[in-house]
Structure formats: C-alpha cells, structure tokens
Amino acid sequence: MYVEKISHSISSKAALIAIIATLAGSLTSVALAQDNAPIAGTRGAAPQVGAKPALTNAYIPESSIAKPGDAGKLANTHYVLRSATGAKPAAAAVPLITEAETPASMGCVYKIGPTYTGCNPATGGTRHPVGGFGAIALVDAYDNPYAAYDLASFSSYWGLPAASFAQIYCTTAAVNGGCYTSNAPPAGNTGWGLEEALDIEWAHVMAPSAAVYLVEAATNSCADLAYAVQWAGAYVQAAGGGTVSNSWGCGEWSTEGSFDPNFYSAWDKTTYLASSGDGGAGASWPASVPWVLAAGGTTVNRKSNGNFANESCWGGSGGGYSAYENSQGYQFPLTAGGSRAIPDLSFNADPASGVWVYDYYNGGWWIVGGTSVASPALAGIIDNIGNKVGQGTPYAFQGFGYLQNQEAYLIYGQMPTAVDYKKNFYDPKSGSNGYSAAALYDLCTGVGTPRGKVGK
C-alpha cells in the first residue's frame, strides 16, 4: 500500500500558485508494511473476461473514438448519443421524449433528491436535488464558447437554481502559463463541447449549491489534460474543497504514473473522479490512477409504465485491471496488492436510459449516455453529501498526516458490513461488459451505485 506524507502547514485558502508549487514539489513517497494476510480457502480465481457485448442504441462521436496509436498521447471523450440505428441523431428543439432521464428522476433513483412514485421521468417535474458545498471542477479539452449559456438554459428549463459558474482556460503544459479566467480560450471543438455541456450540467444537477468550474485544457493531449487537473484541484481546494471530475481517458502507457501526483497535489477536502470508458472490459487512464475514484456505468431499467425497476451492468462500462498501476489498500481484499482494478462506483450510463443535455454549440437537446455521465454526476453526489474526506487529513496533534484515497476507503470499507452496504448502495447483479456483474464488487459496476446521502 503506497501513501504520501503531507505537511500540515498549507492552508486550503493559500494562493493557487503556492498550492501547486509547494504541494506538488514537496511530496515524498513512503511505503508502509502491508499488514493484511489472506484468509485460508477464501481467495478464488480472478474474474475471467468474456466477449464484449455489442454497443447498441448508440452513436459514437468522433471525439469518443479511441485510436490505438493515441495511447499515452491523446485523450478521447467518454460519451455516446442515443440512436436506434447507430446513425448520428438530430438535436431536439425541446426535451419531449419523456422516458429519457431528468434531474428529478436521477435524483430520485439515487436518493439524492426527493423521492416520488416510480422515480418516473415523465412525472418528476422540478423535484431535483438540493445542496452541495465548495466547488466541482470539470476538466475537459478545448473550448465550448457557449458553456455558460448551456448551463443557464439547462438550469432554467428544469427549475434548477442558477449556478455559480467560472470558465477557466489553460495554456499547454509546455508553455506552463497556468489556468486562469483571463487567459485566451483554447480552440473551439464541438465534440468536446458537448462533453463540456454534459459535465457542467449534471454536476450541477446533483449539487446545485456548489460552484461549478469548467477547466479547459489547451488540447486533448494527455499531458495538457493532466496539467489542467493539477490546476483544477488547486481551484477546488481554494474554494474549501469539493470534487474534480474527468470525463475522458487515455490509453494506458508505461510511464503514466509520472502524472499521478497531479491527482493529489491538492488534497485537502478534494476528491478526484474519472470515467472508466465506454468500450467494455479494459482499463484506461486516469480511471486507473489509485488516487482517483473510477466511475463505471449501469443501465437503468424501467417497467412498461416508466417506473423504476432495477439497475444492471451496462455493456459499455469500462472495467478491468490496469497494466501499470498498483492498487491501494482499499482494494487489497480484491487484488492482494496487485494491479489496480476499475471501476470503483457506478451511475447510469447506457444511452438507452440516457440523460438530457442541452448544448447550443451542437444545436439543442441530446439524449446522452456513456461513463461521461457517471463521473460528473457522482462528483456532484459526493460533493452534495459533504463528507469532505478528500485525499487525507493531517493530524494536528502530530503535525502531519498521510495521503490516501479516503473516498475509496470510505466506500470499500462498507462492503463487509451487514447493514450499511445494503442501505447505502445498490448492487447490480446482472449484465456484462465482458466481465459479468456479481454480488458486491465486480469489474463492470465496482462496488455498485449510490443510494442516499450516507457513506459516500
């Protein structure tokens, strides 16, 4: 189990540049002896991967297509659009398809907002979640010049409160000119633009009182996005904490670990998430980073009258073992200290049970799926609950503490419980992404999906 020792001298309100320069430059890795021992006769064979199911009801945009030669170089988005034929659908002028998921229906299913009969999208109205603290940063590439308008329009339509919103522009990592609202915007990109609209809107749905920061990397290079993550964490920490969501992925590569400190350099009350991908069984970065909560995908199944029935593993949910990252102690009972397993936690991601997104840049309303829905929505849920565990807490009585992915420890620690796990999570047991869903942890849905405002 690897942890990081941290100084107690940095205030969460310190200047952003001081946070980055001090925290990122002074962290020293230390290894602790592993005190876990196997229980005789309990460790079975590792899950076996089968054939990946075909992705149905979906159109995959160009920005979401992972190319083999891009591994470690360029990132792709993790959203898909609902399409009965696989062809690119047309935007809707208004969101009239009543079976697509809404802020009220998703808040009801996950018990973050008011509950009502059936959590039916057609009858939810404005019964959306309330609450949230600090800030949620959404890290994406390129510019959506209409992002503020998208968020305002979406919020107005569904009766959500207006968001406290900032759009932050980054230079390239090579230039190292920082990420500021006063920087020149990156080049526009409609593929990433829809991703950005999705991210800011569904983070705001789940934590409408949290500030929303859209942090735009200069390009979709893995290096530029990792640079933007470091700044995003600093902004969130300076706001008093919250979450940082990443709805994109890079194919894994041998030196990916060199960027991992960007996901804990700002650690105080700050939790990082990343979507696990839409290609079924397999791991991608940064979901594979052990300091990150990897967001997988489910299908929300409904009865013929539109009422909620259950959740199952979505076939596109990314999941599996990292080729290069090791697990932390929270996964020791699953991996015995071996490769990092993803995902950790899941949310609706099937385009067949997709969510409404408004994007003026792309012409209107879209029904969207993919684990790009899961990461910002879970980021909002964790922010709303407000446990503020982040990556660790220094202990004043001894002057220092140790960094760990405390959110993951909190979630995984409930799996052995007789009461809390069943109360705080839903455990999908059907479906496959190549790995079959199973009781407790599996490589499609992780620990499961959240229920209520306790234990996350």
Q: What is the DSSP string of 176-207?
A: T--EETTSPPPPB-HHHHHHHHHHHHHHHHH-
Burial of 131 (0-12, 13-18, 19+ CB in 10 A): middle
| Whole-prediction pTM | 0.91
Q: What is the mean pLDDT of residues 386-396?
A: 79
The reported pLDDT for the residue numbered 435 is 96
pLDDT digits (tens, 9 = 90+) for 80-115: 999 999 999 999 999 988 889 999 999 999 999 999
pLDDT digits (tens, 9 = 90+) for 6-56: 333 323 434 565 555 544 443 333 223 233 333 333 344 567 777 888 888
pLDDT digits (tens, 9 = 90+) for 169-187: 999 999 999 999 999 999 9
Which residue type occupies 172? T
Q: What is the mean pLDDT of residues 246-260?
A: 97
The reported pLDDT for the residue numbered 109 is 98
Q: What is the mean pLDDT of residues 195-214?
A: 98
Relative to beta strand 211-217, strand 135-141 is parallel
Of 200, 245, 367, which Cα lies nearest the Cα of 300? 367
Q: From the CA atom positions of the chain, what is the Rg in Å?
A: 20
Q: Is residue 9 part of a domain?
A: no
Output the furthest CA–CA distance in the chain (Å, rounded): 62
- Structure-block tokens of residue 248: 């994109």
- Cβ–Cβ < 8 Å for 257, 228: no
Q: What is the DSSP string of 212-255?
A: EEEEEESSSBHHHHHHHHHHHHHHHHHTT-EEEEE-EEB---TT
Q: Is residue 174 part of a domain?
A: yes
Q: What is the mean pLDDT of residues 159-170?
A: 98
Q: What is the mean pLDDT of the chain?
A: 90
Q: Is residue 43 part of a domain?
A: no
The reported pLDDT for the residue numbered 33 is 28
Please name the residues in contact with 286: beta carbons below 8 A apart, sequence gap of 6 or more: 226, 229, 246, 249, 250, 259, 260, 263, 272, 274, 292
Q: Is residue 37 part of a domain?
A: no
- Indicate if the alpha-carbon torsion angle 52, 53, 54, 57 is positive or negative: negative
Q: Is residue 372 part of a domain?
A: yes
Q: Is residue 313 part of a domain?
A: yes
Q: Is residue 385 part of a domain?
A: yes
Relative to beta strand 292-302, strand 308-313 is antiparallel
| CA atoms within 13 Å, Cβ hemisphere of 371 | 41
- Asked if pLDDT for residue 360 goes beyond 60, the answer is yes
Q: Is residue 40 part of a domain?
A: no
The reported pLDDT for the residue numbered 55 is 84
- What is the total count of domains within the chain? 1
Q: What is the CATH number of the domain that holds 414?
A: 3.40.50.200
The reported pLDDT for the residue numbered 51 is 80
The reported pLDDT for the residue numbered 49 is 77
What's the domain range around 287? 58-450
122 vs 400: which has the higher pLDDT: 122
- Is 67 in a helix, a strand, or coil? coil
